Structure 1
């Protein structure tokens, strides 16, 4: 579909009508111990990508991408540190070229900043993406210590991906729901993902 940007996961893109509308901000919410990073790696192979890390060092992220079992690209990785993470991230966002990806990992650091300044950051981000036709993914850790800005992220995001990992007695299942999808139709069903050598749809059995 015209105006859609691929996520890199073929079957998911098909379910989303060709991908995610250009200019969108996506909130990817997943447990810290999940393999959600593989989704980010797949995305980095679709087009030029700036990977902003607010946790691990540039070297650690680059090594993770380089050794990833997923089909990963070669993103530009920048480590944001210091007392002004919003300002430093905003500077990188302002230099994003046309039709490129932005990954922020994790968004939690920004979500703990002043609420008004964080809201302004998200508005500026969406304005830049709209002007350049890009795509941003904010990787939000759904752990025990959820930042106060998480509701703001989910409210202002155009698309919300909720990835939940279920550990059974002999299996691990990753279930993706898309409860919010501006510019399209949210998925009515749960998508089971295989986060292994490549991110794929798990069709082994129905979800109970």
Structure 2
């Protein structure tokens, strides 16, 4: 038994890979705060205050490389309009229109599938099929954005089915060495399920909105990022022509 364990440990040691390269987020000041970017092959969960306009982060994340953008909340044409209005390019974005698959009939009419367990299971299967197709065709650097993952957490499904989807996302991200961003809303979902997701993801971008007196302040915290030392400071930002990171320091 000892010899077998020794052999197993030796095999594991020989298979330790080189550290992954760092990929730019598309926000230069954020890359600097992180020490150069985010490790390739990372699944990042964006824990967002819905009032903070945090979706602008997603739009800017599309800029450095080819991006597969899964949209569950709106049709792609509305996203294209918003992304272009900020001066961002859309030529590297391939949209995967989950919204229309779920909410629209083949004739283009709005339908209500809310709570339909069969339809909910099928939309997860379709999402996994799209992810596997991306894995089969993609060879270069890429992003995957799921806007939003809250959509899947709100479906009428066994938690194990969501875990299977998350595992599929995780394995494909590692295989492609891509960056995958899962966009989720704060204070919306069962905490035990959310904790499981936060545990599995490689990094957490926690976006909050502080209201003090007559001022509103957007903040980003990064409490977790595997393979790197997480930043201990709150990162202030403004939404202007995209995300503008405030590089000034507070004086105590």
- Using the size of structure 2 for normalisation, the TM-score is 0.75
Within the alignment, does 1:190 sit opposite 2:190 as a pair? Answer: no
Contact 2:80 2:90 (C-alpha < 8 Å) held by counterparts: no
RMSD: 2.0
Which residue, out of 124, 132, 136, partners 2:176? 132
Within 2, Cα distance between the matches of 1:189 and 1:72? 31
Contact 1:42 1:72 (C-alpha < 8 Å) held by counterparts: no
Aligned to 1:7: 25
Cα distance, 1:153 vs structure 2:
1.8
Identify if the C-alpha distance between structure 1 residues 24 and 207 changes in structure 2 by more than 3 Å, giving closer, same or farther. Answer: farther
Cα distance, 1:207 vs structure 2:
7.9
Larger helix percent: 2
Structure 2 residue runs of 5 or longer lacking an equivalent are 1-18, 103-118
Cα distance, 1:2 vs structure 2:
6.0
Question: Which SS does the other structure have where 1:187 is aligned?
Answer: coil
Matches within 5 A, 1:30-49: 30-49=48-67
Cα distance, 1:60 vs structure 2:
1.6
Question: Which SS does the other structure have where 2:173 is aligned?
Answer: helix
Aligned to 2:7: none
Within 2, Cα distance between the matches of 1:203 and 1:11? 8
Within the alignment, does 1:91 sit opposite 2:129 as a pair? Answer: yes
Within 2, Cα distance between the matches of 1:207 and 1:186? 22
Which residue, out of 170, 177, 185, partners 2:214? 170
Within 2, Cα distance between the matches of 1:114 and 1:72? 39
Cα distance, 1:72 vs structure 2:
4.6
Contact 1:108 1:140 (C-alpha < 8 Å) held by counterparts: yes
| Greater C-alpha radius of gyration | 2
Cα distance, 1:85 vs structure 2:
2.6
Within the alignment, does 1:103 sit opposite 2:121 as a pair? Answer: no
After superposition, the C-alpha distances for 1:64-99 in whole angstroms (9 at most, x for unaligned) are: 212125x45431122213322321211121122232
Contact 2:204 2:225 (C-alpha < 8 Å) held by counterparts: yes
Identify if the C-alpha distance between structure 1 residues 207 and 35 changes in structure 2 by more than 3 Å, giving closer, same or farther. Answer: farther
Contact 2:20 2:40 (C-alpha < 8 Å) held by counterparts: no
Structure 1 residue runs of 5 or longer lacking an equivalent are none
Contact 2:86 2:242 (C-alpha < 8 Å) held by counterparts: no
